[in-house]
Structures are given as structure tokens and as C-alpha cells.
Structure 1
Amino acid sequence: MIDPRVKYRHVQCFMEVARKRSLVKAADALAITQPAVSKTLKELEDILKVRLFERSRKGVTLTQFGEVFSHYAGASLAALSQGLDSVAQARMSGESYLNVGVLPSVAARIVPDAVRAFQAENMETTLTLITGPNTFLLSRLRGGELDLVVGRLADPAQMAGLAFAHLYSESVSFAVRKEHPLLAEEKPDLGRIVDYPVLYPTKEAVIRPYVERLLIAHGVTRLPKRVETISNIFGRTYTLETDAIWVISSGVISRDIAAGDLVELPLETIETTGPVGLTTRADAAPTPALLMFQSALRASAEQKSMQL
């Protein structure tokens, strides 16, 4: 944690003296008096409790402590300057574009609030949201067509050249209409789902391996009335109108559950829990717009987590 007594003027003054090797020349460059430079350096040395410069008739030279501090202080000032320039360029560059791939679970749960917060910053950025299977989105990210993918962490084989930042974790739900016969049972058996139509994730769906392992662990190896789909519209409509069981990420149906339209079967699904986060190209420098949208997504995810 940075000592709150260390101010920007301390670091700026230190770096100018280190560059000029002279209090007088540093004072001229900073447009302040030499006594002001000396006073500022003295304050910084008192805070750090070390001598940063050796003073002589020939000027000033860095001590060993000064060399160490110079390395990090210079990097900090450079980063701050770059950050200020990036924000200024973002404000002045006019309309830009940000292409984001989102899995259905995050599209329903955290993206709406993040988009509202992002647009409130008046970035003049056209935001394009694309949804689809995880493999499809990651391939477009890797090819440069997308700037960001928001969804579950993919298998290691699919993450080559990509970077992942965790937001939260979510599990898979078995959702039904509120009049479903299984809800009359005090403790439904997972094996009973074979008696009903099951809306099942497709092979491209990132949650499918989690679901397969869960079912196998409970002795379910065959679903005679299985329909594989990634369509949320079809899944929601069909589940509301039939006795189907919809196997889906909890984030997709969170609003339906809250409204009482759908109900989660009281099954133990902790084994299906997986990390959800932000996937980007590891070698691509983020734009100011991308950084701001990522920040909005983190804030939305944190807010949703606090509400649970």
C-alpha cells in the first residue's frame, strides 16, 4: 500500500533532480525555486527514512536507495502519463467500435447493467454484442473479430494465446415450470429426469462436460427424450408449456427464477460449478474503451454477487 504522505509532487521533483543532476536545473524545469526543490526532496527522504541523493559542489548523485526508488518512480510516472494520454485520446478520437462475445448466461445476468454503466461514460463507442457457443466466440476472439469474450473458462486446449480474468462462479440449473410433477416430491431423484423431455446443452456448449459428469455420477447414461439446443427462446417457451426439464447455466434463468415463472429442481449441482470471467488475447494491448467496459462488467458482477 502506498504511503498517503507521498504525493505526486514528491515523485515528480525527485525524477527531475535525478535527470538533471542539479537542484538549480530541476527548479528551472519545474518552474519553482531551488529552496522549494530542496524542501520537497527533504520531505520525501523523511517519509522514506533514507537519503536519496549525495550532494556535492559538482551537483547531486543518486544513492543506492535513490537508484532503487528511481527505477520504480520512473515506471510509475510513465504509466500515469500513458494513462492520461489514453483517456484524452479516447475522448478526442470520435466514434470507435468494441466487439464483445457473450455467453447467454452472462448476457442475461451482468451485461445489461454493464452496458448501461458503459454508455453513461459517453465514450462514443459503438458496442456490438455477439452471442453463441463458447468455441465459436473464442475462435472469433483469436482471429481478431472480437475484442473480448465474457463467459465460462474454456478447456486449457482452447486457451492457447488467450488470457482469463475471473469474475464469479456459477453452476448449472435444472429448471422446470412451477406446476411440474417432480416439484411435488420432497427430494427429487436426479435419475427421474429420464421420464421427462430434457433440453440438453449441445456439444459446443461449455457446460456440457460438467453436465455429463454429473449425470454419469448419478447413474444416468441415457436420456430417451433429449433435445439438444442452445436457444434460450425455445428453451424458455418449451419449458413453460410442457413438463420438460431445461438443463442450463443458472445465469440464463436467474430473472425467470426471481419472477417465479420457472423453478429450479432442488438437486445438488455443486459439481457443475465453474468460473465465469473475461477472456482476451494475451498479446493485444487493451483500448481505453475495452478497459472501461471490463471495469463495468466487474462492477456489475460484484453487485450481483452482493445481492445473492
Structure 2
Amino acid sequence: MDRRIKIRHISAFVEIVRQRSLKRAADQLHLTQPAISRTLAELEEIAGKQLLLRGRAGVSLTPEGEYFLGFAQQSLVALERGFSGVAAAGGEDATEIRVGVLPSVATRLMPEVAAEMAGLDRVRLTIADGSHEHLTTQLRSGQLDMVLGRLGAPETMRGLSFTQLYLEDVAVVVRPGHPLLEEPDLRRITEWQVLYPPPWAAIRPFVERLLIAEGIPRPAWRIETVSGAFGRVYARQCDAVWFISAGVVASDIAEGRLARLPIATGGTEGPVGLMTRAGEAETPEQQLLRRAVDRALETLEAFLAAP
């Protein structure tokens, strides 16, 4: 390896890509803009290739930069793990494992996973939620160790591996007593306000295809959200029709707080699974989490199969 390359070169490159701006990256790293520009220029000189394109709209990766990014992110993750391991060795601190969870997993599977891991000594579980794009970006950058959720579009899965756990469909839910429950007909949803997945949501393409198949236009009177907290309250207080991953509202339906419309949504099924950085060996803590996920799935499947 070229001895001229330093950690500051890698950190600056990764942060510029993350922020899509030299100025914002400089602010995050407490550098001046000329300093971070000089650091990037040094890295590109060492690489012998241009890694980033600069323009009025910000910065973007060249093909060479796209190739280099994954290795740069992995090197920073490896260093962080190494320092964390040294700090924890022989001490009393628990080893942290950071997991990102998408909405359907957060309410259905993750509580069981956390319960499975509760008795493990010296392993501290940290759980983050958010959109698919946000969590996979954090996973690639090393801020998360694993992500549990729906498989996203190919462009969102760059540099990641995916292990399928189960399939999940989209539910169309309303408050108990909603007029649509008396005469369920998907074509009538435009008579009410619709809670609809935003463009970056993993379930959006599935909902779009469902409506196209039924000849239904995208509802004009809609709120775009996949927020479980907002959707639960708003759907119960109003006559809104809510498109959401079935796992998000499974307990609400079981306990009678929401009702699922008896409408066929089989075409909306998508894989839910475990995401990790591609090409990396799993740490012992990640292996513990994977086993906890498997046991939690067995518990859920046994519960769902019970009469």
C-alpha cells in the first residue's frame, strides 16, 4: 500500500460522499473547505484517478470512486471495531451491537429478538429505526452493524448482502366500524383520505402495482407516510385508508384497534431479511444476533400457527 495514504484521506473521502458536499463535509470534520479540498486532491493523486466530480449541484462519484467507496468504508469500520475491542478488552464494558430496524420489524420481530438477547452477558443492543435509505446508508458507513427489514430497490442495496427471513405483504387498514368494512372494494378508497407510502419507502412499488392492476389512479387526497406512530392515531381518529406493511399493524389488528380490509394483496409480498456489509466476516456479536433472530422467528411462527 502507498505509504502516503493516511486515515484522514479515507475519512475525508467517505464524509464528502455522505454529505454530497465539500463544505458540509468540512464542517462535520471541523476542517476548512480548502483543507478538505487539498486532502481529496492528495487522495486522488495517490489513487491516480479522479474519484469525485465537482459541480454546482454538489459532488458525485466517478466509476472509480464508486468502486473505491466500499473499501474505504470497510477500512474505517474495521479500525473502529479494532479500537472498540481494545477498549473493551479486560474491562467491564459490554460489547455493543448496533441494529437498524424498519417499521414492520420494529413492532413485530425485534421485540422478540431483544428478549432473546436480554440474558447475554457483556452484549449491549442498540436499536435505531428509520427509512430504508437512511438505515442502509448508516450500515454502509459503519454506523450500524446490521439492518433488519424489507429488501429495497437494487440501487439501495449497493455493497450490502441480504439474507431472506420471510415474506410480508402490504395491509390495507382502517378504523373499526369504517364504512369500507361493510362493502370492501379497493376501487372506493379514493372516497377517503389515504395514508400512502412515500417514494423512498420499500413498499411503494408494491402498492403502485396493486393499484395499477385494479385500474385505480394514485389517490390525489393522500398523506405520504410510513410512520407507524402517526398512522395508528390518524387512522383511528379519521376515516383514512392506510397502506402499510402488515407487520407494522399486526398487533393493532389482533387487539381490535385497527381492522384489515378483506382485500387480496398477495401481489404486494416482499422479502424481509437481515442486511450486512458484503464481503465482511461476521463478528461473534453479529453471529449472536443472527441466532437470536432465528429463535425469535421460531417463536413467532409457533404463535401464529397456534389455533
Question: How does the TM-score come out when normalised to structure 1?
Answer: 0.67
Q: CA deviation at 1:283?
A: 2.2
1:275 aligns with 271
Matched, 1:208 2:208: no
Q: CA deviation at 1:220?
A: 1.2
Cα gap change, 1:90 to 1:304, in 2 (>3 Å):
farther
Aligned pair partner of 2:280 in 281, 284, 305? 284
Q: CA deviation at 1:306?
A: 2.9
| Counterpart residue identity of residue 112, structure 1 | P
Q: Deviations over 1:67-117 (max 9, x none)?
A: xxxxxxxxxxxxxxxxxxxxxx99987421111110010010011111011
Q: CA deviation at 1:222?
A: 3.0
1:102 aligns with 101
Aligned pair partner of 2:247 in 243, 246, 251? 251
| Counterpart residue identity of residue 184, structure 1 | E
| Counterpart residue identity of residue 166, structure 2 | Y
Aligned pair partner of 2:219 in 220, 223, 245? 223
Cα gap change, 1:132 to 1:246, in 2 (>3 Å):
same
Cα gap change, 1:91 to 1:111, in 2 (>3 Å):
farther
Matched, 1:265 2:261: yes
What residue ranges of structure 1 are gaps of 5+ in the alignment? Answer: 1-88
* RMSD of equivalent CA atoms: 1.9
Task: Report if the CA contact (8 A) 1:90-1:289 is conserved.
Answer: no
Question: How does the TM-score come out when normalised to structure 2?
Answer: 0.68
1:239 aligns with 235
Task: Report if the CA contact (8 A) 1:102-1:132 is conserved.
Answer: yes
| 2-structure distance, mates of 1:250, 1:107 | 12
Q: Which runs of 4+ in 1 moved over 6 A?
A: 89-93
Task: Report if the CA contact (8 A) 1:175-1:262 is conserved.
Answer: yes
Superposition pairs of residues 187-202 of structure 1, within 5 angstroms: 188-202=184-198
Task: Report if the CA contact (8 A) 1:90-1:288 is conserved.
Answer: no
Q: CA deviation at 1:193?
A: 0.3
SS at structure 1 position matched to 2:298: helix
| 1-structure distance, mates of 2:187, 2:241 | 12
Cα gap change, 1:276 to 1:210, in 2 (>3 Å):
same
Task: Report if the CA contact (8 A) 1:153-1:275 is conserved.
Answer: yes
Radius of gyration: which is bigger?
Answer: 1
Q: Deviations over 1:208-227 (max 9, x none)?
A: 01001111111111312200
Task: Report if the CA contact (8 A) 1:176-1:264 is conserved.
Answer: yes
2:120 aligns with 121
SS at structure 1 position matched to 2:248: coil
2:166 aligns with 168
Aligned pair partner of 2:303 in 257, 282, 307? 307
